[in-house]
Amino acid sequence: MKSQFVTIASHEFRTPLGTILSSASLIGRYSKTEEEDKRQKHVQRIKSAVTNLTEILNDFLSIGKLEEGRVQSIPVEVNLPEFCKGLIEEIKGLCKDDQQIHFQYNGKSDVWLDKQLLRNVLFNLLSNAIKYSEAGKSIFLRIAAGDKLVSIEIEDQGIGIPETDQAHIFDRFFRAHNAGNVQGTGLGLNIVQNYIDLMKGEVSFSSKVGQGTTFHINLPNYLPIQTKD
């Protein structure tokens, strides 16, 4: 795991660090007031590159914690539509030009879920939907929340996952052969699967190369049993 980290980190850190360096140098050169647009474009690039680096580090930390058995699901009451809107605001910065996340919500607003685990699951799946689809394509986040079950769907119109790779998609470090030079470590979906198991939920997907991918998640809307000390 550690030697894999060194290999992947050396490789995957290079691109975002290169982006940060070149954007910072360009910002330094745009000194005129009318160059504000260009400055903002490069500020945005720096922000995405830093988010990307943070993601890679977070993924490694999450895997480490999972291996040590230090992650558990602790459901709390959460206003799910508000929670998702906040997350979408945060993730918008990663979107390509004209890529939009459409959010549809049905059912109960207040549900019982572990916020940290859910946040990670949605962040990983939405950032994959963004990474593996082109500018201009839509992404859908659909949620239906009932008394017992929360169903989540994340759909993209991206490159899709080749059929021969589909069986391995949740394996640690696995990347499909059409991932090309899209940045990634192959850890995200392994973490998603582990977190969903901890939440006693289920995850599946359907995908067609060149058409897109949809991830389906079912999570129990779990009200913790009150115990006496």
Contact pattern for ligand ADP over residues 176 through 205, marking x by CB under 6 A: x--x----xxxxxxx---------------
Contact 136, 130 (CB under 8 A): no
Q: How far is the CB of 213 from ligand ADP (least distance, A)?
A: 4
Minimum CB separation of residue 23 from ligand ADP in Å reads: 22
Helix 36-67 / helix 115-131 crossing angle, nearest 10 deg = 130
Shortest distance, CB of residue 199 to ligand ADP, whole angstroms?
18
Question: Which residues from 113-152 bind ligand ADP, rule CB under 6 A?
Answer: 124, 128-129, 132
Report the nearest approach of ligand ADP to the CB of residue 215 (Å): 7
Angle made by CA atoms 53, 56, 60, in degrees to the nearest 5: 140
Helix, strand and coil in the chain, % to nearest 5: 50, 20, 30
Residue span binding ligand ADP (CB under 6 A) among the ranges 23-31, 107-115, 173-181, 216-224: 173-181
**Residue whose token pair is 């910072």:** 24
**Binds ligand ADP (CB under 6 A): choice among 47, 115, 175, 216:** 175
Out of 71, 158, 194, 201, the only residue in the binding site for ligand ADP (CB under 6 A) is 158
Residue among 145 and 154 whose Cβ is closer to ligand ADP: 154
Backbone phi, psi, residue 95, to 5°: -65, 145
Contacts of residue 81, Cβ cutoff 8 Å, sequence gap at least 6: 105, 109, 143
Q: Closer to ligand ADP at the Cβ: 23 or 213? A: 213
φ, ψ dihedrals at 202, nearest 5°: -135, 145
Angstrom distance (rounded) from CA 22 to CA 3: 29
Query: 3-class DSSP state for residue 88?
Result: helix
Residue whose beta carbon is closest to ligand ADP: 184
Q: Would you say 84 or 187 has its CB closer to ligand ADP?
A: 187
User: Minimum CB separation from ligand ADP for residue 181, in Å?
Assistant: 11
d(Cα 29, Cα 39) in Å, to the nearest integer? Answer: 9
Candidates 20, 73, 78, 156: give the one binding ligand ADP (CB under 6 A): 156
**Non-local CB neighbours of 173 within 8 Å, separated by 6+ positions:** 4, 8, 185, 186, 187, 190
Total binding residues for ligand ADP by CB under 6 A? 22
Q: Tokens at residue 94, please? A: 């990663």
User: Binding residues for ligand ADP, per CB under 6 A?
Assistant: 124, 128-129, 132, 156, 158-161, 169, 174-176, 179, 184-190, 213
